[in-house]
């Protein structure tokens, strides 16, 4: 008889897995084990946009590597089965097809009667690709409410074989916290523009690109990878940072600028919850359905155009009391509704 439920989190290594690693060290309500799949140290080149050490959260790995996607998952899945966990959450995301057989994981879990679900973490431009993977699962979890109706319509509301739940991207409040550090920039962004993905490039131009003519490199800080940014942005680039320092980055400016690849279809991505949890004031590119979770001007502010971004930035730089009030509300909201621990416990009750 376990003192607390055993939950496995299974994925290729990304910054979300670092969150899970941090949560596993502090939670007293669940026994959380993080499993990263594939050759240790291999990271999908587009799924992680800041320095990250996958060894920090790899509890089971395999040295087998088949082509572009890591292989050899069966031995990992079979090790999980021997522990008879209460729930296994398999994350999809940018590397949702990390197994060369998309049905391998759910087949093994069903064979041994292990409760499991697929968390389709990245939507937007990858929605239909992940939907194709999700068809093998009885329980699918989406990160935004727009996709609740989308998935249910695709599978059929009366389809008893496919249940769809909601769990947003989250935060670990004890890790994602305000560092009370001196602000070294008025504005900051660390989101990969991914110029090969049109919707994300447009989002970057609306929120960040619109500001480079009005602010100096001392006022606007860009972090990430040097190759992300085309020539006009080089002067604003301040380098990479280790993920363990994300709370400092989120605490180091008056305004954080957020972009998303999912603006047109829904899903605000993995960074917003962490920004809010750190007590940052955030201007976010409007994402379809974001009003289902947030109230504009209360927990954050969103923009729908480059011109609106300019106006909002100027206004809130000139009104620090309003800015700080919104930041505090955003932090309270994140801690109450976006905690990974809280939402994993909710999912555990729902699936099990």
Give the sign of the dihedral formed by CA 292, CA 293, CA 295, CA 300.
negative
Q: What's the alpha-carbon Rg for the chain, to the nearest Å?
A: 20
**350 lies in some domain:** no
In a domain, 343, yes or no: no
Kindly state whether residue 351 falls inside one of the protein's structural domains: no
Q: Could you tell me if 95 and 134 lie in one domain?
A: yes
Same domain, 115 and 62: yes
Band of the pLDDT at 321, cuts 50, 70, 90? Answer: very high
Is 166's pLDDT higher than 90? Answer: yes
pLDDT of residue 157: 62
* Each residue's pLDDT tens digit, 94-115: 554 445 567 888 999 999 999 9
CA 171 to chain centroid, in Å, comes to: 9
Q: Rounded distance, CA 256 to CA 258, Å?
A: 6
Length of the chain: 352
CA 53 → CA 21, 57, 155, 348, distances in Å?
A: 11, 8, 38, 28
Give the pTM.
0.91
The domain of 105 spans 6-167
129 with 244, same domain?
no
Q: Is residue 173 part of a domain?
A: no
Query: Is 177 among the domain residues?
Result: no
Task: Quote the percentage of the chain above a pLDDT of 70.
Answer: 84
SS3 annotation, the chain: CCCCCEEEEEECCCHHHHHHHHHHHHCCCCEEEEEECCCCCCCCCCCCCCECCHHHHCCCCCCCEECCEECCHHHHHHHHHHCCCCEEEEECHHHCCCCCCCCHHHHHHHHCCCCEEEEECCCHHHHHHHHHHHCCCCEEEECCHHHHHHHHHHHCCCCCCCEEEECCCCECCCCCCCCCCCCCEEEEECCCCCCCCHHHHHHHHHHCHHHCCCCCCCCEEECCCHHHCCHHHHHHECCCCEHHHHHHHHCCEEEEEECCCCCCCCCCCCCHHHHHHCCCCEEEECCCCHHHCCCECCCEEEECCHHHHHHHHHHHHHCHHHHHHHHHHHHHHHHHHCEHHHHHHHHHHHHC
Predicted confidence (pLDDT) per residue in 258-298, tens digit? 998 888 888 888 899 999 999 999 999 999 999 999 999 99
Examine the fold and report which residue of 167, 195, 225 is the final residue of a domain before the chain moves on.
167
- CATH code at position 250: 3.40.50.2000
More confident residue, 192 or 206: 206
pLDDT digits (tens, 9 = 90+) for 308-318: 999 999 999 99
Place of tokens 């080089």: 234
Residue 44: CB partners within 8 Å, gap ≥ 6? 12, 14, 94, 95
**Residue 149 structure tokens:** 């109706």
Residue 16 has pLDDT above 60, yes or no: yes
Provide the percentage of residues in the chain whose pLDDT is more than 90: 57
Examine residue 346 and state whether it is found in any structural domain, yes or no. no
What tokens were used for 318?
Answer: 């000139």
**Quick one: pLDDT at residue 198?**
82
Q: Does 157 share its domain with 264?
A: no
Compute the mean pLDDT over every residue in the chain, rounded to the nearest whole number: 86
Tell whether the model's pLDDT for residue 345 goes beyond 50: yes
Among 167, 199, 223, give the residue marking a domain's end.
167
Shared domain for 190 and 56, answered yes or no, is: no
Q: Are 125 and 197 contacting, i.e. CB atoms less than 8 angstroms apart? A: yes
Q: What would the mean pLDDT of 132-144 be, rounded to a whole number?
A: 90
Phi-psi region of 284 (alpha: psi -120 to 50; beta: other; left: phi over 0): beta
Answer yes or no: are the C-beta atoms of 14 and 38 closer than 8 Å: no
In a domain, 318, yes or no: yes
Give φ, ψ of 101 to 5 degrees. Answer: -125, 105
- Are 279 and 134 in the same domain? no
Pair 18, 153 in one domain: yes
Higher-pLDDT residue of 176, 52: 176
Same domain, 139 and 36: yes
Domain contains 349? no
On whether both 137 and 226 belong to a single domain, the answer is no
Residue 220: band (very low, low, confident or very high) from pLDDT cuts 50, 70, 90: very high
Q: What is the CATH number of the domain that holds 13?
A: 3.40.50
Q: How many domains does the chain have?
A: 2
- Indicate the pairing of strand 65-66 with strand 69-70: antiparallel
Give pLDDT, residue 104.
83
The string of pLDDT tens digits covering residues 47-74 is 455 666 655 555 554 444 443 344 456 7
Task: Provide the pLDDT for residue 154.
Answer: 84
């Amino acid at each position: 008889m376990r003192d607390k439920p055993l939950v496995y989190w299974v994925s290729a290594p990304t910054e979300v897995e670092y969150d899970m690693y941090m949560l596993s060290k502090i939670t007293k309500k669940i026994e959380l084990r993080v499993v990263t799949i594939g050759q240790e140290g291999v990271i999908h080149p587009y799924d992680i946009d800041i320095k990250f050490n996958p060894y920090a959260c790899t509890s089971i790995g395999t040295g087998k590597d088949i082509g572009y996607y890591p292989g050899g998952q069966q031995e990992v899945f079979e090790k999980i089965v021997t522990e008879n966990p209460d729930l296994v959450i398999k994350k999809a995301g940018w590397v949702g097809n990390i197994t060369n057989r998309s049905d391998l994981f759910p087949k093994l879990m069903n064979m041994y009667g292990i409760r499991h679900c697929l968390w389709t973490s990245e939507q937007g431009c990858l929605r239909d690709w992940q939907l194709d993977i999700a068809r093998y699962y009885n329980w699918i979890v989406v990160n935004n409410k727009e996709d609740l109706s989308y998935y249910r319509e695709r599978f059929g509301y009366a389809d008893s074989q496919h249940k769809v739940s909601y769990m947003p991207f989250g935060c670990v409040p004890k890790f994602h916290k305000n560092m009370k550090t001196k602000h070294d920039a008025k504005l900051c962004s660390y989101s990969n523009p991914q110029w090969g993905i049109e919707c994300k490039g447009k989002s970057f131009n609306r929120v960040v690109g619109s500001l480079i003519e009005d602010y100096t490199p001392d006022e606007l800080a860009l972090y990430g990878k040097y190759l992300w940014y085309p020539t006009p942005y080089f002067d604003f680039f301040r380098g990479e940072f280790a993920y363990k320092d994300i709370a400092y980055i989120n605490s180091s400016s008056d305004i954080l600028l957020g972009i998303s690849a999912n603006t047109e279809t829904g899903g605000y991505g993995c960074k917003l919850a962490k920004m809010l949890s750190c007590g940052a004031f955030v201007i976010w590119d409007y994402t379809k359905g974001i009003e289902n979770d947030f109230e504009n001007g209360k927990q954050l502010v969103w923009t729908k155009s480059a011109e609106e971004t300019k106006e909002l930035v100027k206004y809130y730089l000139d009104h620090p009391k309003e800015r700080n009030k919104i930041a505090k509300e955003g932090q309270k909201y994140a801690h109450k509704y976006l905690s990974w621990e809280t939402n994993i416990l909710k999912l555990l009750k729902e699936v099990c």
